Structure 1
């Protein structure tokens, strides 16, 4: 059984929960059973567990210690996307993961609650926007845990020191929101001249954002094409965007009704595997059979592919009538699969299901 993978593939295999252990190429990322670690047992990156009523959860650690660990967290969140599991983002450590695996829910909740109260009371005295946001976020993380563990006592006790600090933080945030609302109202001059000026300013900003969106999307498409051809693109040649601007462009892309960029596929002549643009690998033989099943469904020769069919380490979730497929967290368009199949001369014939694990 293969246990050494690329970093992205390691998170995908962990998300599938089809084998007991695995690791990345340099041992910085590895998993043992339901738990994914980054750089050692001290940092639990992700953990699968069941709630007291049997609901399936995966917790992704919200605490980030380094840039590399932050990248690991991003890959893990991407890998669990699309799976039938409730995703929880909150602080987690190894002892807590052990308690959840063993079903020690009381001990787990007690540790979460004590950690929450300790963090709140150790924040520096005084109150500002950063302080109030940090305290409220700490309580919200604990509330997420409480809901997952089906608790009712998810808020700090009002008469406790932590409860008083939390109430102070909530009151401060409410005061700031009222102040911002008052300031906004004072700027809402409804005279015809002011309305016309705001409309012109909005249209000018929207036009500039649309131009930036078109440049950004064209660059994304070009990068994907370079990736398909195994060509590297220098970071200096890319449009540099901050996080806020990138989110604005992604929101505009969705509002314009454009579909997100598809998962791309590539394969070198001498390789026996297909790579996805999300960092996963599947055997070429399985990829060919998946394409053949999708073609038969698209042409109406099959109503659907076999249930729970395996494609490498992944499970086929669904084949749509138009030939698009959902495999694990990957959505593959038929056009993308057909393009790769045509490039390597794959014949559209009836696949041999007995040769593929089902």
Structure 2
């Protein structure tokens, strides 16, 4: 039986389908963002944004550090947001994301060139650290992260290069570094306190300002919501191709009907969302969390083209870049009369 896939999606959905390896290819309506198997491109095969590869059965993502235009930058943002939060360093079972100059690197020479770019970045960060006054701690943290990523890159691709040591690069002992960072920390404490207060006030104001837009979006009056990591994920019903991997009553899995849409731009079949709700309710009832590939309540939970990564004991759901609060799940379920 030939499996049929919906080919044309929104740019956000294309990025999510690629990140989750949900289907072999897809594109947006203008064909400006598309992927073929492991690689996702912006405006043509001359500009790969990111690529899935496997190194010794370990999943790895190579993500570009290049950018050519504002629209390409927007595509890069879509793809970056579709990646699961956090990076597994040192290499683990979760995909390692390496930000490199050459996404299509294959031979040793090309991987060595990517590693050389890490060294160049580290050299620039050393200069920033020497000049920094208010951001000295942040500069050293960025240098540490760059060195860690470079060393992990060398480990994954078995490159014979020197390990990058941030202490040696800045020419300090651990004691000297601690003294410098402590002095910077004392100066920054007062600023940090004010920053946290401002951020909390801004986040609260943003939610209040966005409240009217959320109501209109849920009602279907507006198509999209402003996307911010500071805003919660919201849910609504829409109309589209169901595309469920679980045909019901012998129906066509690509039937046109009601779907659930998230404020981040992804869609899943309503029936799959309702099935996932049952697992969420069990987690809340038992006061136990559920983890993908864990030992309880089944190994995986697929909702449409995507897999749930975590359900907390309070009912919050994490799936890729989505973290959906229980309050929003409960509101949506009640609106559908599932509760």
Task: Identify the TM-score tier after normalising by the shorter chain.
Answer: 0.5 to 0.7
- State the SS of the aligned residue for 2:299: coil
Instruction: Report the CA distance shift for 1:312/1:209 in structure 2 as closer, same or farther (over 3 A).
Output: closer
Match of 1:28 among 25, 32, 39: 32
- State the SS of the aligned residue for 2:265: coil
Alignment of structure 1 residues 199-218 onto 2, 5 Å = 211-218=201-208
Instruction: Report the CA distance shift for 1:33/1:301 in structure 2 as closer, same or farther (over 3 A).
Output: same
Q: Structure 1 regions of 5+ residues with no counterpart?
A: 121-127, 157-169, 172-177, 189-197, 239-245, 251-259, 349-358
Is 2:270 the partner of 1:267? no
Instruction: Report the CA distance shift for 1:50/1:216 in structure 2 as closer, same or farther (over 3 A).
Output: same
- State the SS of the aligned residue for 2:308: strand
Is 2:2 the partner of 1:9? no
Contact 1:48 1:57 in 2 (8 A): yes
Match of 1:92 among 82, 96, 102: 102
Aligned equivalent of 1:46: 50
Contact 1:63 1:91 in 2 (8 A): yes
- How far off its partner does 1:80 sit? 1.4
Higher helix share: 1
Alignment of structure 1 residues 174-189 onto 2, 5 Å = none
Aligned equivalent of 1:68: 71
Is 2:333 the partner of 1:324? no
- State the SS of the aligned residue for 2:23: coil
Q: Structure 2 regions of 5+ residues with no counterpart?
A: 87-93, 122-126, 133-141, 171-176, 241-256, 291-295
Cα displacement string for residues 245-274 of structure 1 (whole angstroms, at most 9, x for unaligned residues): x9xxx8xxxxxxxxx543211114795111
Aligned equivalent of 2:219: 229
RMSD between superposed Cα atoms in Å: 4.8
Instruction: Report the CA distance shift for 1:265/1:293 in structure 2 as closer, same or farther (over 3 A).
Output: same
Aligned equivalent of 1:351: none
Cα displacement string for residues 13-56 of structure 1 (whole angstroms, at most 9, x for unaligned residues): 111113221112211111111111111111110111233x5432
Contact 2:276 2:303 in 1 (8 A): yes
- State the SS of the aligned residue for 1:299: helix
Is 2:292 the partner of 1:290? no
Within 2, Cα distance between the matches of 1:233 and 1:6? 12
Cα displacement string for residues 285-306 of structure 1 (whole angstroms, at most 9, x for unaligned residues): 1112212332233334998543
Cα displacement string for residues 137-167 of structure 1 (whole angstroms, at most 9, x for unaligned residues): 9x968666434424241579xxxxxxxxxxx
Larger Rg: 1
Cα displacement string for residues 95-151 of structure 1 (whole angstroms, at most 9, x for unaligned residues): x2xx2xxxx4x243244367789x89xxxxxxx97xx99xx99x9686664344242
Instruction: Report the CA distance shift for 1:148/1:298 in structure 2 as closer, same or farther (over 3 A).
Output: same
- How far off its partner does 1:316 sit? 2.5
- How far off its partner does 1:231 sit? 4.0
TM-score by length of 2: 0.64
- How far off its partner does 1:313 sit? 0.5
Instruction: Report the CA distance shift for 1:269/1:282 in structure 2 as closer, same or farther (over 3 A).
Output: closer
